[in-house]
Amino acid sequence: MKRLLSIATLYPNAHTPRFGTFVARSLEALAARGDWDVTVINPIGIPPIPFGKYKPLATAAISGAEHGVHVHRPIFPLIPRLGTRFNPAIIARVIGAEAERLHSENPFDLVDAQFFFPDGPAAARIARRLKLPLSIKARGSDISFWGKQAFACKQMLAASREARGLLAVSQALANDMAALGMDARKIRLNFTGLDRDRFRPLDHSQLRSKLGTELGLPLLDHEILLASVGALTQRKGQHLVIASLVDLPDARLLLVGKGEERTRLEALALHLGVADRTHFIGSVDHDLMPIILSAADAMVLPSSNEGLANAWVEALACGTPLVICDAGGARELVSGPDAGLIVDHSVAGVTQGIRQLLANSPSTDAVTAMAARFSWDENAASLAGYYQSLLARN
Based on C-alpha coordinates, what's the Rg of the chain?
21
Q: Which of 131, 137, 106, 142 is nearest to 6 (CA)?
A: 137
Q: Which of 148, 143, 145, 141 is nearest to 160 (CA)?
A: 143
Q: What is the mean pLDDT of the chain?
A: 94
How would residue 286 be classed by pLDDT, with cut points 50, 70 and 90? confident
Helix axes 119-130, 87-105, angle to 10 degrees: 40
Q: Which of 147, 145, 136, 115 is nearest to 22 (CA)?
A: 115
Q: Which of 201, 363, 374, 373 is nearest to 292 (CA)?
A: 201
* Residue 394, pLDDT score: 67
SS3 377: helix
pLDDT at 81 over 80: no
Predicted confidence (pLDDT) per residue in 168-212, tens digit: 999 999 999 999 999 999 999 999 999 999 999 997 778 998 899
* Residue 13, pLDDT score: 93
CA 58/CA 65 separation, integer angstroms: 19
* Residue 332, pLDDT score: 93
Alpha-helical runs (H) found in the chain: 21-33, 54-59, 87-105, 119-130, 141-144, 150-162, 171-180, 207-215, 238-244, 262-272, 289-295, 310-317, 330-333, 347-359, 364-369, 376-391
Within 10 angstroms of residue 45's Cβ, the number of other Cβ atoms is 20
pLDDT at 276 over 80: yes
* Residue 54, pLDDT score: 86
* Residue 221, pLDDT score: 84
* Residue 80, pLDDT score: 81
How would residue 75 be classed by pLDDT, with cut points 50, 70 and 90? very high
**Pairing between strand 2-7 and 110-113?**
parallel
Q: What is the pTM of this model?
A: 0.89
Predicted confidence (pLDDT) per residue in 356-393, tens digit: 999 999 999 999 999 999 999 999 999 999 999 999 98
DSSP symbols for 65-88: EETTEEEE--EEE--TTTTGGGHH
* Residue 159, pLDDT score: 98
Q: Which of 264, 258, 266 is nearest to 284 (CA)?
A: 258
Which of the residue ranges 123-132, 195-204, 237-246 would you say has the lowest mean pLDDT? 195-204
What's the mean pLDDT in 28-32? 98
pLDDT at 222 over 90: no
* Domains of the chain from N-terminus onward: 2-193+375-391 (3.40.50.2000), 207-369 (3.40.50.2000)
* Residue 103, pLDDT score: 98
Helix axes 376-391, 21-33, angle to 10 degrees: 70
Q: HEC states along 267-300?
A: HHHHHHCCHHHEEEEECCCCCCHHHHHHHCCEEE
Angle at 352 between CA 348 and CA 357, to 5 degrees: 150
* Residue 233, pLDDT score: 94
